[in-house]
Amino acid sequence: MDVSFAKIDITPDIRGISMLGYGNPHNIVKGVETPIQVRTTCVKGENEFLYFLLNFEICFITDSLFTPLRSFLEEMLGHKNFAIHLTAQHTHSAPSGYDYYPLYNMPTPGYVKRVHEKYLAGAKESLTLCYENLKPGRIEFNEGEIALSEDVSFNRSMDAYLNNPEVHLENLPQTRRSAVNKRMQTLAIYQADKLIGSLNWFAVHATNIPNTNFYISPDNKGYAALKVEKNFEEHIALFNQGCAGDVSPNFVKQETRGARMRGKYANPFDSAKYNGSLQANHCLSLIGTKGQDIKGDIFSQTVFRDFSDIKPDPKFLPKGAPSSARTVEPCHGVAFIQGTKEGPGIPHALGFLIKLLASAVKALHILTSYLLPQNKRERVWSLYRNQYPKSIFLNAGDKNVLGIRDISKLPIPSFIDPLIGTMKKYYKRGALNELTWVQKILPVQLTVLDNLVIAAFPGEITTIAGRRIEKQIRDAYGDQVKIIISPYSNAFCGYITTPEEYEMQMYEGGHTLFGRWTLPAFQTVLAELICAHQKGNQAESIQPPKFSEQEITLRSNSQ
């Protein structure tokens, strides 16, 4: 087995550009507190298969990164006997504007070529260095719990968490401090007897730094990586995210502008460094302990599916789920635009008003659907049936806001919501015509090395959703298997909540785009990948679509 690491600075120091994560157009860059990096590792299995894993210190991965980098590797290597796995550690304090899909670029505003090219160039350089520096080595797996007494991670969505039946049936923890997965998993990688790098997965949002910040920072996971690296002469540490959909680093209430919860200290950078230090200390303890050797052949496959049209396998549905259960067009709920305690959105009163408007739109759509042909009528009913009880604010698949397709006619003034103002501007340019506003042809990846299984998903998976996926994998491979669930991987689709959490329509449910059955749909695709691996064949996949250069240019920002 051959191994290698690389680390490249990807900081686009562009003043005035928005940062990605909070959706706040005033959360702009005025400087750099700590540069952001892309860290990369490569493992060559005994079957000569190459597995590249990149960790970007940005908010999330997009197809504008995944597809070009996969093509770059294919051209560089001259073959397809490899897999690429892109992860984001999910800092909310890194520049936006690198997505081809328009919606999450609205705060920037628009696509920013300089940001995109900076991220791509750094990743390509790291991939090249990794491939050139492959040398014989070995890998050790370890895992361990961070003590409950450590102020590292807290459940931020307890009402949704408590709505899961297994919480009560299995007597799972029921406090903010305990209702999270405290397990950290690590891979310590050696060349000869020298520890050259490490990877770890741990679930906590990189949101110690709030939406009032103006300085680029990798947040808690970035500081954790730097601390681990400083403990060695040469070492590269990848701090990947775990199932952090409902997990916050913040636990102190405050009554100030912006976030209503903060970390240990009033200074958010001090809180981020404190939280990162806790993660780093645990990582150092794990990689300093002899772990289980991981070796052998590598299997890895990534498939793309249309997640707006998947009928889940009934075994992943809760009891009583209707036979009509399926995923539908991606929609953002009012709960999404209301935000979280870490990144508050619209005021409660305005949210209530928009919910009334959303209800009126729904009633009108259902009433007028009786005038439509049967296939179109069924599509309307399926949308509202499978998105229920979400109050739909924005349909990113059918491209409308509160049912209005001509965005320039939205009755929401631009001065109330600058993001709506940006959408109106781009709509008038003809820059919102192609494809959908968010990616719906999405990847799921399964990687197996020895008895280690890494399942990668493009969304923010909640604690219990991750628990269900882990059980699914263990049922398929047996109790001896080591399981890593790697969210925020290869693309982005908002959140992946359980159907029971979705019912509560808190922020995470409002941002579960494909409706109540999103998690069962992802489990269904994962089951197909597992079956393909066990039978020694390939699962079916489709190709993600591409925007034209013309449309991307029309919604580009000149920064």
**pLDDT string in tens for the chain (559-residue length):** 999 999 999 999 899 999 999 988 999 999 999 999 999 999 999 999 999 999 999 999 999 999 999 999 999 999 999 999 999 999 999 999 999 999 999 989 999 999 999 999 999 999 999 999 999 999 999 999 999 999 999 999 999 999 999 999 999 999 999 999 999 999 999 998 899 999 999 999 999 999 999 999 999 999 999 999 999 989 999 999 999 999 999 999 987 656 789 999 999 999 999 999 999 999 999 999 999 999 999 999 999 999 999 999 999 999 999 999 999 999 999 999 888 877 788 888 888 898 999 999 999 999 999 999 999 999 999 999 999 999 999 999 999 999 999 998 888 777 777 888 899 999 999 999 999 999 999 999 999 999 999 999 999 999 999 999 999 999 999 999 999 999 999 999 999 999 999 999 999 999 999 999 999 999 999 999 999 999 999 999 999 999 999 999 999 987 6
The pLDDT, as a whole number, for residue 146 is 98
**Residue 16 CB neighbours (<10 A):** 9
Does residue 136 have a cis bond before it (omega within 30 degrees)?
no
The pLDDT, as a whole number, for residue 343 is 77
- Please give the structure tokens belonging to residue 416: 């109330």
**Residue 9 CB neighbours (<10 A):** 12
- Burial class, 150, CB count within 10 angstroms (exposed 0-12 / middle 13-18 / buried 19+): middle
Distance of CA 517 to the CA centre of its chain: 18
Question: Rounded to an integer, what distance in angstroms lies between the CA atom of residue 51 and that of residue 44?
Answer: 6
Give the pairing type, strands 495-496 and 460-461.
Answer: parallel
Give the pairing type, strands 37-44 and 82-88.
Answer: unpaired
Contact 504, 304 (CB under 8 A): no
Backbone angles phi, psi at 452, to 5 degrees: -100, 125
Per domain, the residue ranges of the chain are: 2-303+440-535, 318-437
Give 158-192 as a DSSP string: HHHHTTSHHHHHTT---STTTSS--EEEEEEEEET
Question: Rounded to an integer, what distance in angstroms lies between the CA atom of residue 469 and that of residue 463?
Answer: 10
- Please give the structure tokens belonging to residue 368: 């007028």
- Residue 207 per-residue DSSP state: -
Distance of CA 240 to the CA centre of its chain: 11
- Residue 316 per-residue DSSP state: G
- Burial class, 542, CB count within 10 angstroms (exposed 0-12 / middle 13-18 / buried 19+): exposed
Question: Rounded to an integer, what distance in angstroms lies between the CA atom of residue 463 and that of residue 248?
Answer: 11
Residues 70-105: b if buried by 16+ CB within 10 A, e if exposed: bebbeeeeeeeebbbbbbbbbbbbbbbbbbbbbbbb
The full 3-state SS of 428-476, as one line of letters, equals HHCCCCCCCCCCCEEEEEEEEECCEEEEECCCEECHHHHHHHHHHHHHH
Output the CA torsion 89→91→96→101 (10° steps).
50
Of 260, 238, 249, 87, the residue nearest 182 (C-alpha): 249
The pLDDT, as a whole number, for residue 421 is 87
Backbone angles phi, psi at 59, to 5 degrees: -75, -50
The pLDDT, as a whole number, for residue 258 is 63
- Residue 86 per-residue DSSP state: E
